[in-house]
Chains A and B, each alone.
Chain A
Amino acid sequence: MPGIEFLLGALTPFNILLAVGGVIAGTIIGALPGLTATMAIAVLVPFTFGIPPSSALIALGAIYTGAIYGGAYSAVLLNTPGTPSAIATTFDGYPMAKKGDGDLAITLACLASVIGGLVGAAFLLLLAPPMAQVALKFGPVEYFWLAVFGLTLIASLSESSVLRGLVGACVGLLLGTVGVAEVGGDIRYVGNFQALLGGFDVVSALIGLYCVPVLIDLVATPDPHLKLTHQVAGFRLGEALRIAWASKVNLARSSLIGTVVGILPGAGGSIASLVAYSEAKRVAKHPERFGKGEPDGVLATESSNNATVGGGFIPTLVLGIPGTPPDAVILGALMVQGIRTGPQLFGEQSEIVYTFIYGLFIATILMLPIGLVIGRYAFKSIVSIPKALLVPSVAFLTIVGSFAVQNNAHDVQQMVALGIFGWLASRAGFTASPIVLGLILGTIAESGFVRGYLIGNARGEPVSEFFTRPISIGIIVFILIGLMYPVITARRRAKGSTNE
C-alpha cells in the first residue's frame, strides 16, 4: 500500500479546509434539483486553477462526493432526485419521509454514502491499474446491453407492472432520439421546433418528470406535504447505525456494485444505484417492503452511488477515460493543471495522485458530520415550511434550475412540457423513473447498438455480434433474471398464500 507520507501530505490544514468547503458546496448544490454533480464541479472548477494540483483534486473530489450525497435530500424530502444518481433513492426514501421517518432516511443516506465512498476510494487506492483493464474489455455491444440491463432493472422495479415499466423505458429511449443523431448525424423528430435540435436535455427532463407531477399533486389537496410523527430532536444516528449494522452485507454488496459500475466509462451512478437496489430487493427477507419505505433500499442506493466516485476515478486516472460525467470535467481540470493521466501517473506523479486519494478518504469521512448537520437542517426546513410557501419555492427552483443547465429558456419550456406529460403518464400508471432512465441511457444504448450493428454488418453477422461475445452473454443472462424475477416472486407469493 502506498506510504504514510502521502496521507500526511493530504492532512495539511489547507487540504482539510478545501475538503470541508468542497463537501459543503457539493452537498448544497447537489441538493438543489437541476444542479447535478457535474454542474457543481463545472461551476467550482475555476476556483481550483490557482492552487497546487493535489489540493485542487482534493477539492474537486470533495465537491463530487458531496454532490452525489446531496442528491439524496430532495429525493427523500421532495420525491425529486437532486442528481440522476439519486433516482432509486426516491423509491424508499420518499415513502419513509411520508411515514414521518424523513430524518432517519437522511441519516441512513449519509451513513451509506460515507461507507460507499470509502469502499470506492479503497479500491481506487489499492486496485486502480488492474481494475481499469476490466473497463477496456467492454465494447459497444456490451455498453448497449449494459444500458438495456439498467432499463430492464428499472422496469422490473416498477411498482405496478413490468410491462408498464418497459413501455416507459421505450418512451424514454424514443425521446432520447429527438435531435441530431450522434451516429450518422440525421436530424430526427424535430419538425419546425429548432429548439429541439439538441434533443431533450436530461437534467431538464429529470426536473420536469419528477418535480412537476409532485407539485401538481401537492396543490390538489390540503394535506401537509410531509408528516412529522415525532419532535425533531437529534440525528437518529444510533437508530441509523443499528439499521446499517444489521444491513452490513447489503452495504458491502452495494458498495462493491457501485465501484465496479463506476469503473465502466459512461455508466455512472444511476445504473449503479438501480443494480444495487435490485440486488438488495432480490436477496431481502421481505422484498415486498421495498418501495414502501424500506431502509435497506436507501442504504443500497446511497452506498452504491457514492462508491461510483472512487470507481469512476479508476479509468479516469489510469486510462484517461472518464468513468462518469463529473469525471470528464475533472479530467479537463487536470489537463489545465498540467497533469497527464495514464498508467504513468501512478509512477511519475505518484505524490499528486496518492495525496489526492487520501484526500478523497478525508473528504468522505468529513461528509459524515457535515452531511448529518446539513441533512438535519434540510429536513427541519422542509417539514416546517408551510405548503403554500414550499410549492412556489420548489417551482422557482425547477424553473431556474432548468434554465441554468444551458442558460436557455427552451430548456425551461421542455421541462414544463415533459413535467405535464409525466403527470398525465403517471395518472395512467406509467411512472417517471423508466422514462427518465430511458432518456439518460438512450445515447449509450443507441451508440452501442449502431456501432455493434455496423461491426456485425462488416463481418456479415449483424445479429450474432450482439449475442456471442462472452461479456454480452453474461449481461443478457442478468437481464433475463431481472425480467423473470418479478414473475417468479409473484408465483412464490401466490403459492405461499395458498399454502397458508
Chain B
Amino acid sequence: MSESAARRDLPGIAGAAFFIVMGGLALWFSREFTPLGSVFPRTIAVTMILLSVAYIAVAFLRPAAAAPAPAASTWRRVALMVVLVAWALLLERVGFLVTSIACYAAILVISNYDRWTPRMAVMYALSGAAVLGGLYAIFKFVLQVPLPAGMLL
C-alpha cells in the first residue's frame, strides 16, 4: 500500500482515546456505588477500555486506506447544531409554537442552497406553515400532547 493511500485512522484513534477517558471516569465515579450497583458498569467500563486500547493498537499496526472526505459546509453544520440546541433549551421557556416557528425558519434558511426569489420565499413560507401547522395540530389536538405554551405560545 502506498504512503498516500495508507493513513493512520486519526479520527478513529481520537474516538477510541475519548472512550478510554469515558471508561476511566465511569470507573472512578463507580467507587461511590454499592457492590450491586457497581458490578455491571465496572465490567462494561473495563471492557470498553480494553477494546478501545485494542482498537488503537490495530489502527497503528494496520493503517487503513483513507477515504477522501467529501466537500461539505462546516458553517451550515455548526449553525444547524446551534439552532437545535436553542430549540431544545427555549421551547419550554418561550413556548413550543413560537420557538418552533423561529427554529423551523432558521433551519429552512440554513438548508437552502438555491438563490432566494420572492416566489420561492412565499412558496416555502406557505409550505412550511402548512407542514408545521399540520404536525402541530396532530400532536396537540389529536394525540393530546401537552406542548408547553411558555411566555409567548
Neighbour of B51 across the interface among A166, A177, A387, A415, CB < 8 A? A166
Residue-by-residue, is B110-123 near A (CB-CB < 8 Å gives 1, otherwise 0)? 11111000000000
On whether A429 and B15 interact (CB within 8 A), knowing A186-B36, A215-B80, A392-B128, the answer reads: yes
Residue of B nearest to A415 (CB): B88
Contact assessment for A216 and B88 in the assembled complex, using a CB-CB cutoff below 8 Å: no
Q: A216-B81, A219-B76 are in contact. Are A450 and B36 (CB under 8 A)?
A: yes
Asked if residues A391 and B40 are in contact (CB atoms below 8 Å), the reply is no
Asked whether A425 lies within 8 Å of B15 as measured between CB atoms, the reply is: yes
Please report which residues of chain B, range 133-153, place their CB below 8 angstroms from some CB of chain A when the two chains form the complex: 135-136, 139, 143, 145-148
Measured CA separation A386–B131 after assembly (Å): 13
Q: Which residues of A contact B (CB under 8 A)?
A: 43, 161, 163-164, 166-167, 170-171, 173-174, 177, 181, 183-186, 188-189, 212, 215-222, 386-393, 395-397, 399-400, 403-404, 407, 409, 412-413, 415-416, 419-420, 425, 427-430, 445-446, 449-450, 453-454
Q: A186-B38, A450-B39 given as contacts; is B12 within 8 A of A397 (CB)? A: no
Q: With CB as the reference atom, state the residue of chain B lying closest to A425.
A: B15
Pick from B22, B71, B147: contact of A403, CB below 8 A: B147
Q: How far is the CB of A80 from chain B (nearest CB, A)?
A: 15
**Closest 7 CB pairs between A and B?**
A186-B37, A428-B15, A170-B48, A220-B72, A184-B36, A222-B113, A388-B112
Complex CA gap A181/B60 in Å reads 38
User: How far does the alpha carbon of A425 sit from the alpha carbon of B105 in the complex, in Å?
Assistant: 28
Best-buried of A389, A392, A397 by chain B (most CB within 10 Å): A392
For A163, the chain B residues whose CB sits under 8 A away are 51, 54-55, 58
Chain B residues positioned under 8 Å from A185 (CB to CB): 37
> Are the C-beta atoms of B55 and A409 separated by less than 8 Å?
no
Is the beta-carbon distance between B39 and A43 smaller than 8 angstroms?
Answer: no
- Which A residues touch B12, using CB under 8 A? 164, 428-430
Compute how far the CA of A188 lies from the CA of B37 in the bound complex, rounded to whole angstroms: 8
Which residues of the partner chain A approach B51 to less than 8 Å between Cβ atoms? 163, 166-167, 170
- The 22 listed contacts between A and B (C-beta, < 8 Å) are A161-B58, A177-B41, A181-B37, A188-B29, A219-B73, A219-B79, A219-B110, A221-B71, A387-B112, A389-B108, A389-B124, A391-B110, A395-B84, A395-B103, A399-B88, A403-B96, A409-B88, A409-B91, A413-B88, A425-B15, A428-B15, A450-B40
Q: How far is the CA of A429 from the CA of B64 in the complex (A)?
A: 12
Q: How far is the CB of A383 from chain B (nearest CB, A)?
A: 15
Establish whether residues B139 and A400, one from each chain, have CB atoms under 8 Å apart when the complex forms.
yes
Report chain A residues within 8 Å CB of B147. Answer: 400, 403
Q: Are B33 and A404 in contact (CB under 8 A)?
A: no
Question: Which B-chain residue is minimally distant from A168 (CB atoms)?
Answer: B19
| Contact present for B48 and A429 (CB under 8 Å) | no
Q: Please determine whether A420 and B16 come into contact, CB atoms closer than 8 angstroms.
A: no
Closest to A181 in B: B37
Q: A163-B51, A392-B107 are in contact. Are A407 and B145 (CB under 8 A)?
A: yes
> A419, B84: Cβ atoms under 8 Å?
yes
For window 10-51 of chain B, which residues contact chain A by CB distance below 8 Å?
11-12, 14-16, 18-19, 22-23, 26, 29-30, 33-34, 36-41, 43-45, 47-48, 51
Contact B104 A396 (CB under 8 A): yes
Q: Are B41 and A174 in contact (CB under 8 A)?
A: yes
Shortest beta-carbon distance from A499 to chain B in Å:
21
Measured CB to CB, the closest approach of chain B to A183, in angstroms, equals 6
Q: Tally the A-B contacts, defined by beta carbons under 8 Å.
A: 197
Instruction: Determine if B77 and A216 form an interchain contact, defined as CB atoms under 8 angstroms apart.
Output: yes
CB-contact partner of B88 in A188, A412, A425, under 8 A = A412
Q: How far is the CB of A209 from chain B (nearest CB, A)?
A: 14
Chain A residues with CB under 8 A of B71: 221
Q: Do B84 and A416 touch (CB < 8 A)?
A: yes
Contact A429 B9 (CB under 8 A): yes
Do A389 and B131 form a contact, CB below 8 Å, given A218-B111, A404-B145? yes
> What residues on B are CB-neighbors of A184 within 8 Å?
34, 36-37
Tell which of B48, B77, B81, B104 touches A174, judged by Cβ atoms closer than 8 Å: B48
Closest to B29 in A: A189
- State whether the Cβ of B70 lies closer than 8 Å to any Cβ in chain A: yes
Minimal beta-carbon separation of B56 from chain A (angstroms): 10
B85 on interface, CB distance cutoff 8 Å: yes
Cβ–Cβ contact A403 & B91, under 8 A? yes
Distance in Å: Cβ of B108 to nearest Cβ of chain A = 5
How far is B70's CA from A221's CA once the two chains are assembled, in angstroms? 9
Residues of B within 8 A of A407 (CB): 145-146
A167-B48, A407-B145 given. 19 additional CB < 8 A pairs? Answer: A163-B55, A164-B12, A166-B51, A186-B36, A189-B41, A219-B80, A219-B110, A389-B124, A392-B108, A393-B131, A403-B145, A404-B139, A409-B92, A409-B148, A415-B88, A420-B85, A428-B16, A429-B9, A430-B15
Minimum Cβ distance to chain B for residue A98 (Å):
14
How far does the alpha carbon of A177 sit from the alpha carbon of B100 in the complex, in Å? Answer: 32
The docked-state distance in angstroms from the alpha carbon of A416 to that of B90 is: 13
Q: Once bound together, how far apart are the Cα atoms of A217 and B70, in whole Å?
A: 11
How many angstroms between the C-alpha atoms of A377 and B92 in the bound complex? 34
In the bound complex, residues from chain A placing their C-beta under 8 Å from that of B79 are: 219
Roughly how many angstroms separate A184 CA and B34 CA in the complex, as a whole number?
A: 8
Question: What are the residues of chain B within 8 A of A420 when measuring CB–CB?
Answer: 81, 84-85
Cross-chain contact of B87 among A216, A393, A404, A416 (Cβ < 8 A): A416
Chain A residues with Cβ below 8 Å from B70 are 221
Contact B34 A167 (CB under 8 A): no
